[in-house]
Amino acid sequence: MTNLQAILDGIYTELKPRIGEGRVADYIPDLAKVDPNQFGLTVTTVDGRIYSVGDSAVPFSIQSISKVFMLTLALGKVGEQLWKRVGREPSGSAFNSIVQLEQESGIPRNPFINAGAIAVTDVVISGHAPREAIGELLRFVRYLSDDDGVTIDGQVAKSETHTGFRNFALANFMKAYGNLEHPVEHVLGVYFHQCALSMTCEQLAKAGLFLAARGSNPVAGLSVVSPKRARRINALMLTCGHYDGSGDFAYHVGLPGKSGVGGGIFAVAPGIASMAVWSPGLNKVGNSQLGAVALEMLAARTGWSVFGD
């Protein structure tokens, strides 16, 4: 394989003068405090090798990237029945838009916009107290990353709870249409805590490696999901993983991925590697500005696009 460390070092050197670009997510008070002058990038290959540059060992709030792990848990619980409650199409709207939800009778367009993720969380908490559901997610991500250092940032969760009025509106709207089975405050309590998962680029790249390896964790030699399910989760990340910037990300990077407003992006080169990049400054659609540039450079220099080199 091409010298990945040299490629990562080259990307870091080129982007170093630009670190700090974009605007942090200031509508969540605790994210507004994050120093934008940080950048980390990790690539984990399916044979278990890890390559990193920059601030890749600094924990950050993964925010919506957590939706990938919750979707995996929900599909494990109810399988294809999930799609009766959530669609699989790109939204073309802001991630917290309520307009589409009203037009489509309380069925969110996909599991990665906020409304869709809230519906997915409602599925995961079935049979659990909210605290137990949060614990299940945390155990799952720690298991995937083989790292008990993964935590939930209680301050970020509290910050989101105090400012999450749009999410309360989305959840109540779905409740009115019968697409939420549990009390709104219980579902959102879990949702805010899942978004407050704190991980490093290295932990995140390892946790998502099963999606690059046909559903198995190749390092531990354990099956996580079927190859078919891994392929379908990747398909959803490619088409819906970056809100209304998903098409642009597919055009420039050409890899399945999921962004979060904490400035992280997780991406997958199927059969080859998983990767995580973090740069807190966001572009106008809420994705990491420098993170997307770094992944475009990485895909170009490795030829990893799912559309061919």
Active site residues: 64, 67, 191, 243, 261
- Cα separation, 198 vs 63, in Å, equals 8
- Cα separation, 189 vs 243, in Å, equals 23
Ordered strands of the 151-152 beta sheet: 60-61, 197-199, 151-152
Pairing relation of β-strands 264-269 and 273-278? antiparallel
Single-letter code of the amino acid located at 46: V
Strands (E) in 197-263, as ranges, are 197-199, 216-217, 222-223, 257-259
- Check: CB of residue 256 under 8 Å from CB of residue 208: no
